[in-house]
Amino acid sequence: MNKCKRCGVSVADDIAVCPLCDMVLQERRGLSEETADEYPDVGLKTRKLKQISRICMYFALLIEAVLVIINYYTYSYSCTWWSAISGGAIIYLILTVRGILNKRTGHIRKIYLQVIGLIALIICIDITLGFSGWSLEVGLPCVIFGIDLTIVLCMIINYANWQNYVIMQLFTVLLSVLDLIFYLSGIVQGMILPWVVLGISVFLWTGTLIIGDRKAANELKRKFHV
């Protein structure tokens, strides 16, 4: 264990400089743990969680391999590759856990990843079951509505910078337009949901642009470099 001469704290991490003042650490000898002002190993908990997540990921992939084998030998009875559903769910779960443990990724980017993964999962389930179209007719609008609700909650919690969610609102508008295109092209039959989610998304986005005024406009310029 090393000690910082300037700060007077001991550092449990295996590093050469003090994380507080960047001074070169000195090796500490002859002092007991009880009398030391120890700087804790802040990365220890994160490393343990990542190790646990890797172990869980290994066993999850092992379980999926067993399910694929079972599905292969029982396909003549079910006539469905149901192991694709379990595989998609496992991948989505792994990405979710890794996203939670990744402290360097902001919550907005994590929401993007969750949304894309969830949409891919419900489409995978629909295709595996024969693609009746429910993933686009009901699933996609529900996901869009869930994003809108999440954005509202984030804006309430982070009220000091609520205009920062204008880009995410634009993302929901684009998804809503895509859902409406599916309806107009005849891919989905439900008429109400596409228009409802588009109306909600446009309402939130335009409301943020108008009420947020210059700060919301600057956020758009910063993201799109215009």
**Two structure tokens written together for 5:** 């001469």
3-36 pLDDT per residue, tens: 777 677 777 666 767 777 666 776 665 444 444 4
Asked if residue 32 lies in contact with residue 46, where contact means CB atoms within 8 angstroms, the answer is no
| Cα-based distances in Å from 194 to 32, 119, 142, 191 | 67, 15, 10, 6
Residue 1 pLDDT: 63
Q: Is the pLDDT of residue 215 over 90?
A: no
Residue 29 pLDDT: 56
Asked which of 89-93, 122-126, 176-180, 210-214 is least confident by mean pLDDT, the reply is 210-214
Whether pTM > 0.75 for this model: the answer is: no
Q: Is the pLDDT of residue 80 over 50?
A: yes
89-143 pLDDT per residue, tens: 999 988 888 877 777 777 788 888 889 999 999 999 999 988 888 999 999 999 9
Strands 10-11 and 2-3: what pairing?
A: antiparallel
Residue 120 pLDDT: 92
Look at the chain and count its residues. Answer: 226
135-169 pLDDT per residue, tens: 999 999 999 999 999 999 988 988 888 888 888 99
Asked if residue 212 lies in contact with residue 166, where contact means CB atoms within 8 angstroms, the answer is yes
Residue 35 pLDDT: 43
Q: Where are the alpha helices (DSSP H) in the chain?
A: 44-73, 75-78, 83-101, 107-128, 134, 140-157, 166-184, 192-224
Residue 21 pLDDT: 67
Query: What mean pLDDT do residues 57-65 have?
Result: 92
Between 176 and 26, name the one with better pLDDT.
176
pLDDT band of residue 226 (cuts 50, 70, 90) is low
Query: What mean pLDDT do residues 51-70 have?
Result: 90
Top-ranked range on mean pLDDT: pick from 142-151, 183-192, 213-222? 142-151
Residue 127 pLDDT: 92
3-state secondary structure at position 185: coil
